[in-house]
Structure 1
Amino acid sequence: MRDQDGLSVVELMVAMAMGLFILSSLAGLLLSSRASYSLQDQHAQVQETGRYALEVVARAIRQAGYRPLDHLAQASLLISDEETSVRGLDARTLKKNTPALEATTTGVVNGSDVLALRFAGDEVDGKGMMFNCAGFVVPAALPDDEANGWSIFFVARDSAGEAELRCKYRTASGWSADAIARGVESFQVLYGLDIDGVQQPLRYLSASAIDALDAGLPAEHAAGAGTNETSHWRKVRAVRVALLVGGSMQEKADETDRQYDLFGPDYADSQAALDKGVRIKENDLPAAMRHRLRVVFTQTIRLRNHPAGVAS
């Protein structure tokens, strides 16, 4: 029997080639699995952010205009004052500590809108029963504007440059705002108006379009003229919200021509020039914001507490 000789050069090269092939296959499988996991993680993150943001906004919309009916002193609250319970601004952002809707046009994120909702506080056995968008209790209201609660939604960028949906609210000493959903890159709002007083079909308009309708009212009924009872804002019966939510990491290396129509292509085709932010093109975003997973979320919410005595 012959003794075992060493491997020949050819055998050694074949063995090394096979080893390298196996290692490269395993490395490719590992990278593929990692990329798949990362994409799934981003998708879950975006879905959770979108669902949570819509839930918070929808809850605030449903309580807009609320007032305790067992207090006669509050019977006129949110009815005859100058401010309506639902108000909006197109393509604006807000400062954290300024009162209510003192808006600024600088730093607007992708044409995002502002949605402001007012409601009265309430108490049962001394315990607050109404909460603002930040989760803080709003005390029982008085027949006084200063007692009303506010939930105001807008988009701004954090210190790292990432977009986030924020909630602005009144505090005991002034105003504040907190982030409630990171990754909301566009926040768009349409308002369903009951123009003729028959409830259906509602006509969905932007905040700017409603303001334009109010501008055509007689001077004694215009906003800020001492009464707002005939303002078209009082005819809002539903609010349609759209969010564009993006992941935090770049995932799509070869796709930059995507287009996101937040209220659908028909609305964007006819209104994108007037209603900024309803159509987002990825090529128009900063380079660092491209190649990300993005999902559009929409929801229409009916108002539960629309004002009585609305002029039709």
Structure 2
Amino acid sequence: MVKFGSRSGVIPDSLRMILDMDTDEDKLKDKLRRGGPGRRADMTRPLKNRKIFWLYKHWWGNKNDFIWRDHRGTAELTWDYVQTLKPECDLDSNVVDAYIELLKVRESISGLEPTAKKFFFNFSFFVQLLLIDYCKDLKAHPEAELSDVQLAGLHSLYNSYAVQRIGPSLLDCDFAFYPCCNDAHWFLFILDIKQHKLLLIDPLAEWGDSLKSIYSRYIYAMECIVPAMLHYLDPSRFDGHKLKVHFVQERPMQSNTHDCGVYVFKYMDVILNGISLRDAVWEPVLGIWTFRYRIAWELSKGLARRINDYGIQQRNRGL
């Protein structure tokens, strides 16, 4: 059986051997750790030791010329990048983008069609905005005082990020996820496109004037540039008026300085499973280690684990 996500697009012999290693004792232990059928897709369930061993041996072993690509060639990881998935490492933006590609594929499967449609932005969206300096004057309209060439460049940027290779276009979605990184710290914006509501979820900091100052250019991009983008794409639906960011207070928070990227993934995972962040609970050390292992394992297979039946029911209820 061919799986994407490995170096060649085929399961390596070493991984194939491990997948065939399930003894009756392994299956019994896994059943006990699962806690029943409802936890088969639970990211809090510990990964099997033999799978963790495979990760340390083949992904996190001695440095080599390892290169991972997803099956569409849209994401690529080198040996250095995958090292950042190990516990107590700062997550690399390339790993974030690669895992988002897996989420896009999972969201496109038939079992999730009745639920709200999601759009996932890569961090490169903000890199482009900041690199070209469209967030220079935070008090002006994003398209004010731009030359014709600059305006054409901004509109080209709008068009290039209005579609995703897998899944619906931005205008056809209900929600959009924007993972951001400022000075090695990750946080998450979520845009309710239909309700014109903008949320900011930060795993470490509390809301206040200092945070507004630190994130000023990102907040400007979300409050001003994104509405301008939606207005450009469909002026009949969107008036381009400025949004106001709302900070999510009730959410699990990290207990160190290097798990922010994993927490952003965890926030998305919880929300995509139909669970409210205020009800989400996980162990801040071992639980996050487990989540790192599971992200690495899913990337090694090139496939995000399915959302369980309970999660689909919750999503269908609009939670």
Instruction: Give me the TM-score of the superposition, normalised by structure 1.
Output: 0.22
Greater relative CO, 1 or 2 (CA 8 Å, sep 6+): 2
Q: Considering only CA atoms, is the larger Rg found in Structure 1 or Structure 2?
A: 1
Q: Which structure has more helix as a fraction of its residues?
A: 2
Structure number with the higher strand fraction is: 1
